Amino acid sequence: MMSFSQMFFNAGSRKRRYLCFMTNKLPTKKVTMSPNPCATRWNSWFFAVQYHREYFGLYKEFIEMETQVCGRSVPQSVERLHDMLQDPNLPQSLNVQINIMADKCKHILNLLDIFESRRPVTTKIFNYLEDLQVVFAANKEMQYELCDEYFKEFDLPRRTKTEILRTVGEAYVNAEEKLTMYMSDGQPAIEFLQEVRVFDPRHITFLDDSVESYKAIPGFTDVPRHEFDSYFTALGPAALRAALSGVVDLDVFWDGVQERLPVLSSLAHRYKDAVSNSADAERSNSIYKLVLSSRRRSTTNQNLKALVFLCHNHRILSGAFEREEREKGKVIEWEDMEEWEDMDIEGEGMEDDE
């Protein structure tokens, strides 16, 4: 994946040839460049895996064509890919691994979308993490019989198949260890995330019915005992029964019980939608960079904050963030090819040696 990405670094002509090649091979599809794996965007790696799964069978022909076009000035990344794809077993092994990961990463991609969204998920995070632990545990010892579908189209020796399963299993073991560490000592707020589920009546059946059990929630020890008992014995179960026939709106629920459970309702409104990720904080850094241009160097801090506030909320109201999410992973499309027509062909051999 890294070699494939590096192959197009500062190589506009190669990008154009790639898009022309893919369009000729797949005339009915809208051709795009492969997603560029980025260290700060975890899901970009999984998007890249899914892309390569779809087009892997065409890479060998394109790489051979590139080696002929470049002649003696073949970039290192193209040369590496050429050597990989000429091996009799390696391309099949890579294809199987890509197929496995493209299939297995769907659960992680769904979680990343949930955690990076602007929808309140604070009361559900701990359950999501526990479900992820189960997924890792179930896949860390992959049996050959259960994975036969990934191998049936390829003629690989038994030893290679066993090695692939061992490699994938080790990846799941490492992931499970990291997640277990995160849920024990790595996340300082893990107890809060575990206890904040009490504000969702759908979870109270599995939670402790003692006020003293929720020490990680600030102010929870001040909840009167009669309020807590009323919530656990009457109001909460009633909401749970209602949830069986539809979705429980927590805002509506806690607004409705505010008179009977004033203290508990106040805490619920404060903590059930607590900010649980840094996605918007990181986005604000980018917005600051856009707003604080070279012509605004004398802007006061107060005006700068006001401009960023307006810019950020305008993008939310206009749906700009949603459009960016849809375009995530798409680097260059067929319609952008005209931009490369004037690029100097001498740049096609430029490469990032690292």
CA distance 336 to 340: 8
Cβ contact 96:149 at 8 Å? no
Per-residue confidence (pLDDT) for residue 220, from 0 to 100: 92
**52, two tokens:** 């390569």
Per-residue confidence (pLDDT) for residue 55, from 0 to 100: 93
Cβ atoms within 10 Å, residue 265: 20
DSSP string, 154-209: S---HHHHHHHHHHHHHHHHHHHHHHHHIIIII-TTHHHHHHGGGGSTTSGGGS--
Question: How much is the pTM?
Answer: 0.75
Residue-wise pLDDT tens digits, 314-324: 877 887 766 66
Q: Does residue 234 surpass a pLDDT of 80?
A: no
CA distance 128 to 138: 15
Q: What is the mean pLDDT of residues 18-25?
A: 94
For 32, the 3-state DSSP assignment is: strand
The identity of residue 33, as a single letter, is M
Q: Does residue 63 surpass a pLDDT of 90?
A: yes
Q: What is the mean pLDDT of residues 328-350?
A: 37
Q: What is the mean pLDDT of residues 53-77?
A: 91
CA distance 8 to 11: 5
Per-residue confidence (pLDDT) for residue 333, from 0 to 100: 37
CA distance 181 to 194: 15
CA distance 228 to 211: 7
> pLDDT-derived band of residue 242, with 50, 70 and 90 as boundaries?
low
Q: Could you identify the residue written with the tokens 């401009």?
A: 307
Q: Could you identify the residue written with the tokens 């191998």?
A: 151
* Greatest mean pLDDT among 189-193, 228-232, 247-251, 306-310: 189-193
> pLDDT-derived band of residue 243, with 50, 70 and 90 as boundaries?
low
Angle between helices 158-181 and 90-104 (to 10 degrees): 40
Residue-wise pLDDT tens digits, 267-308: 999 999 887 777 777 777 777 777 887 777 788 888 888 888
| Closest to 154 (Cα-Cα) out of 102, 81, 80, 94 | 94
Q: Does residue 343 surpass a pLDDT of 60?
A: no
Per-residue confidence (pLDDT) for residue 114, from 0 to 100: 85
Rg of the chain over all Cα atoms, to the nearest angstrom:
26
Q: Residue 23: which residues within 8 A CB-CB, separation 6 or more? A: 31, 334
CA distance 63 to 81: 7
> pLDDT-derived band of residue 236, with 50, 70 and 90 as boundaries?
low
Residue 186 CA from chain centroid, whole number: 20
Angle between helices 301-318 and 279-291 (to 10 degrees): 120
Residue-wise pLDDT tens digits, 90-141: 999 999 999 999 998 888 888 888 887 777 889 999 999 999 999 998 887 7
For 333, the 3-state DSSP assignment is: strand
Phi, psi of 333 (to 5 degrees): -110, 170
Query: CA distances (Å), 62 to each of 59, 81, 142, 163, 334, in order?
Result: 5, 10, 34, 28, 17
Q: Please name the residue ranges forming H helices in the chain.
A: 2-6, 12-25, 42-55, 59-70, 76-86, 90-104, 106-116, 125-139, 148-151, 158-181, 190-195, 225-230, 236-243, 250-256, 262-271, 279-291, 301-318, 320-327
CA distance 136 to 132: 6
Per-residue confidence (pLDDT) for residue 196, from 0 to 100: 94
Per-residue confidence (pLDDT) for residue 140, from 0 to 100: 79
Per-residue confidence (pLDDT) for residue 118, from 0 to 100: 73
